[in-house]
Amino acid sequence: MSALFEPCTLRSLTIANRIWMAPMCQYSAEPCGPDAGVPNDWHFSHYTSRASGGTGLILTEATAVSPEGRISPFDLGIWNDTQVEAFRRITGFLKEHGTTPGIQIGHAGRKASTDRPWRGGAPLGPDQHGWQPVGPSPAAFDERHPVPDELTAAQIKEITGQFADAARRALAAGFEVVEIHGAHGYLIGEFLSPHSNHRTDEYGGSFENRTRFALEVVDAVREVWPEELPLFFRISATDWLAENGAGESWTVDDTVRLARLLKEHGVDLLDVSSGGNAASVRVPTGPGYQVPFAARVRAETGLPVAAVGLITEPEQAEGILADGEADAVLLGRELLRDPYWARRAARELGAAVAVPPQYGRAA
């Protein structure tokens, strides 16, 4: 049997195959009013087409735990019941067609309140549906971004509670996997890295202090998320600063160390990406360039991992799993190009994937 099409069981949940869709922001929700952050027809079409294409697990785009936690005013959120009800339409379709629905919950921190990327992605002010970002320290992401307000200890606790509330709503919305977004220079990742965390209290300085917020969020989510359902965590394995000889950084060694702690705190799989916390660093991209990070975490901790980053061909994905470098692959841009990638992979690898009866004549 193809490794790519073997079912994957985490806790009591079995995912049909190991071709998973990575979270990718669509910047297509209403920015304000009663429909702010609510998934609409675009989101329904976007996610359900990949389910019809045979994808085993679909993770939504970064879905904010609060209005101020959005990357842009046009992002999805899960801070109210209107959003929950709209998500049910999507999760119901995914389950009906054999795809596991997952949600990534996050807070953008100092990188919040920006425009859509195809309009330049510049920070937005209050007159453009924007707001003042917050972060672990008053340090801007780059020269374009405003200096964020430094979070107080009380505000940190409040945001931790917002993650737990988001997980409760995710369950009510029909999701079966929840992923905490700790990558790409957003709030949790900002706390992890000494590049962006300059605090001198219990949330800054040492590795133990910088990882405190992440672990408190994991504990809060795990407490409300059902014991039988899996919890994922997305990490940037490196800031790429150390590799560029450019100062203090979150490193792969740190990621392995944190992965051991996440496993102890009830995380079932680490989604291993990289970068996003430091502007203007050189990232040596290429096919599967982040896979070695995932492979190292898996080998040294025993924690299941998903690999992501320029995985485009079925044989490439099959090799990653067959060689034991990861437990699943997450496709991003390749699934934007081809919603039916899983079907193509099944044909090329001589495997089988579920086909909606409406498409049976073409199977």
Catalytic residue ranges: 186
User: Can you read off the two tokens belonging to residue 220?
Assistant: 């809060």
Contacts of 298 (CB under 8 A, 6+ apart): 304, 305, 324, 325, 326, 327
- Smallest CA-to-CA distance from 139 within 306, 313, 278, 291 is with 278
Cβ–Cβ under 8 Å, residues 246 and 278? yes
Rounded to whole angstroms, what are the CA distances from 16 to 125, 260, 318, 325? 44, 27, 15, 20
**Cβ–Cβ contacts within 10 Å for residue 338, how many?**
16
**Cβ–Cβ contacts within 10 Å for residue 341, how many?**
23
List 62's β-bridge partners, or say none: 104
Contacts of 245 (CB under 8 A, 6+ apart): none
126-134 contact pairs (CB < 8 A, 24+): 128/73, 129/31, 129/32, 129/73, 130/73, 131/67, 131/68, 133/68, 133/108, 133/109, 134/68, 134/109, 134/110, 134/187
Helix (H, G, I), strand (E, B) or coil at 63: strand
CA angle 20, 254, 285 (to 5 degrees): 50
Sign of CA dihedral 243, 217, 265, 229: negative
Cβ–Cβ under 8 Å, residues 346 and 5? yes
Residue 93, classified by CB atoms within 10 Å of its CB into exposed (0-12), middle (13-18) or buried (19+), is: middle
Length of the chain: 363
First to last CA, the chain: 19
